[in-house]
Amino acid sequence: MASLNITLPPLKPISFSLFSLSQFHGRTLPHHHSSIPTSSLPILPHGQIQFLKFKTPKITCTFSLIPTTSGIPIVEDDESGFIVVNFYHFVYIEDPEFEVSKHLSVLEELDIHGRIYINEQGVNAQFSGPSKDAMSYVKWLRHDQRFTDILVQISPSSGHAFPRLKMRYKPSLVQFDLGAQDLPLLDPSMRAEPLSPSEWRARLKSLDSNHDKANDDHKSCILLDVRNGYEWDIGHFQGAQRPEVDCFRTTSFGLSNLQVTDSDPLVNVDKDKTDILMYCTGGIRCDVYSTILRQKGFKNLFTLKGGVSNYLKKEGPEKWVGNLFVFDSRLSLPPATFKPGATTSSGSQEAPANSKFARCYICGSQVNELRHRNCANLDCNLLFLCCRNCVEGLRGCCCSNCKTAPRLRPVLFGSVRYQKWHLYRDSKVREEIS
């Protein structure tokens, strides 16, 4: 533990929020105390700061350090505050079932909810919990030399973002219809070359420049979004393409041997000369799919290291339009969640207001009340973007056929989400028995 004394004007107590603390990293204080010389502040490593007590005219600050290799500062003003943690790592695990039992022995002592999957090729984790518990698990994991260099990504949450903990062995770390368990994911040369967020941003600028040229002398490049359709609906990189499929698990672009023009953006491209830039939320889907494309003969494959969430934290919303879909109860996060105060090249703190791509799945409108919802039909459960009018008109369903289905959940308005579908199923069964 270490202490830091900061002199403030007398009789002016100060309070810090999560976002103001995120700027307190050897650079700046919150705006209303920006007159304090930054030269007197230390460069704080990846760690937590706790303000223990207030004095006049000084504040005594005590902070503890948490090791990291990600370079992403974690700053919390309350160890009981909740965070969401995401990471994945490809590494050979000889006995994954034993590995699962080891993790469970640690997790049973912590307040952690989420999905943590392990198999012979590594680990894929998304979980929430109080900052102290969540980072205790991360710290424990990094003590294992196989996981010392994992890239851990963190975002704030108002509480648990997952209903419970699911920690188990899973044959495939990513759901994919063609199967991923037999792919050579442990061989880095078979995966796409990772680009840092700054390198990715430079490539996007270069892509814009090439598109503006009148000739085709430059090397061709394709920017691909490999996420699900409902993720694309609320945010994506400018100039990106994506296959016309509902979800990643059914993606097949670049895999057909038929030289025909269809919705596949990789049909007829030169596999030796075309740069393929791929991105997803956290990076794991790109690693998996790039391995498949590599086996199909594509040479120049690049991926965004850490995915969009890492880019928004490092570079802000430059070239990004809209919000980022996340796979927990929060569903959608604005860019400012990842990097408060970040601006685009135009000086705006938000991504461009051009959200014309976001439309209601049912009526195609672009109203401000668009929200992701699951279809009320238990046997459909489609996640789709819907406006309030269509929620009322179709009773929470995605189409008129689902509206007449035999097993319907109640209509939910606003940001309220359905509980697990089996709870409604079991409830209906109990009603029939009674």
Cα torsion 407, 413, 416, 420 to 10°: value is 0
Would you say 16 and 77 are in contact if contact means Cβ atoms under 8 Å apart? yes
Among residues 61, 221, 280, 286, the one annotated as catalytic is: 280
Distances (CA, A) of 193 to 23, 122, 279, 299: 31, 19, 12, 10
C-alpha to C-alpha distance for 188 and 303, rounded to whole angstroms: 12
Measured distance CA(242)–CA(143) in Å, rounded? 39
Burial class (CB in 10 A: 0-12, 13-18, 19+), 344: middle
Nearest to 197 by CA among 86, 85, 318: 318
Q: Rounded to an integer, what distance in angstroms lies between the CA atom of residue 377 and that of residue 409?
A: 6
398 belongs to the catalytic site:
no
Peptide bond into 57 cis (omega under 30): yes
Instruction: State whether residue 99 is helix, strand or coil.
Output: helix
Q: Please choose, from the candidates 173, 159, 108, 88, the residue with its C-alpha nearest in 3D space to the C-alpha of residue 130.
A: 159
Give me the sign of the Cα torsion angle 247, 248, 253, 257. Answer: negative
**How far is residue 33's CA from residue 186's CA, in Å, rounded to a whole number?**
49
Contact criterion met (CB below 8 Å) for 87 and 115:
no
Active site residues: 280
